[in-house]
């Protein structure tokens, strides 16, 4: 996973899967979400994504107290959100 900040947006790219996200990547994501200026997560550059991506999105929403816009969700993430019945939390 790669992170690129261009306020007010945090851009995520690369694979966000159980195999690609470790505790260091998770901490890096949390730190990148923390600044008050970050208001949007853009996932346009994300390749493969699974439940680890859902976990990151929920962590971002928690950090921002639900005040975070999610854009360009991969179809796999949207499908998982629907399966987990949390699509109203992560749907743009």
Q: What is the mean pLDDT of each run of 10 residues along the chain (92 residues)?
A: 96 97 96 96 97 96 95 95 92 68
Dihedral of CA atoms 56, 57, 61, 66 in degrees, nearest 10, equals -170
Please give the pLDDT value at position 89. 87
> Which residues lie closer than 8 Å to 83 by C-beta, 6 or more apart?
none
Q: Are 43 and 14 in contact (CB under 8 A)?
A: no
């Amino acid at each position: 996973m790669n992170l690129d900040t261009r306020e007010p947006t945090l851009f995520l790219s690369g694979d966000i899967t159980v195999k690609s996200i470790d505790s260091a990547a998770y901490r890096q994501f949390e730190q990148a979400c923390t600044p008050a200026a970050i208001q949007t997560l853009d996932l346009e550059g994300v390749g493969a994504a699974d439940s680890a991506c859902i976990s990151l999105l929920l962590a971002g929403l928690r950090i921002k107290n639900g005040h975070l816009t999610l854009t360009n969700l991969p179809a796999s993430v949207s499908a998982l959100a629907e399966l987990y019945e949390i699509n109203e939390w992560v749907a743009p």
